[in-house]
Amino acid sequence: MFGTSSTTSNIGRLTLKSSGSSPTPAIIGYNHGYFTNGGNARAWWEYAGVNGVRIFIDPSKIEPTDDLPPWGDGVSSDATFESRKAALRADPLNTAYINWPRVRSPLT
């Protein structure tokens, strides 16, 4: 039983608390690979309260050609990559960085 010790071995004491030691994760997700035709993954995800998904997909399926010329979007060094990354993180929906309507269209 939890929280007790036997007469033959004294290994310690377990104390249960009603408060947690860390917050619940904000995003609960699964790998998209669980979805199969005719399966019940969708119902399970809804039941489990899933609000995140990880999808492994070939990049050519999302962006078969460059969405915003020139190719590479001006990234040619570590410094320009870090600059572009900071700008994108500051304004992730800005279509100057990612042509979201074009990227979304094959996925909808």
Cα(82)–Cα(77) distance, integer angstroms: 9
Longest dimension (CA), the chain: 75
Asked if residue 68 and residue 108 are part of one domain, the reply reads: yes
Cβ-Cβ contacts under 8 Å for 87 (sequence gap 6 or more): 94, 97
Asked if residue 51 and residue 77 are part of one domain, the reply reads: no
Please indicate, yes or no, if residue 102 is contained in any of the structural domains. yes
User: Quick one: average pLDDT of 80-93?
Assistant: 93
Asked if residue 108 and residue 71 are part of one domain, the reply reads: yes
What pLDDT digit, counting tens, does each position of 37-75 carry? 788 877 888 888 888 887 777 777 767 777 777 777 888
Domain span holding position 99 = 64-108
User: What pLDDT is attached to residue 57?
Assistant: 76
> How many domains does one find in the chain?
2
pTM here is 0.42
Last residue of a domain, one of 36, 56, 76: 56
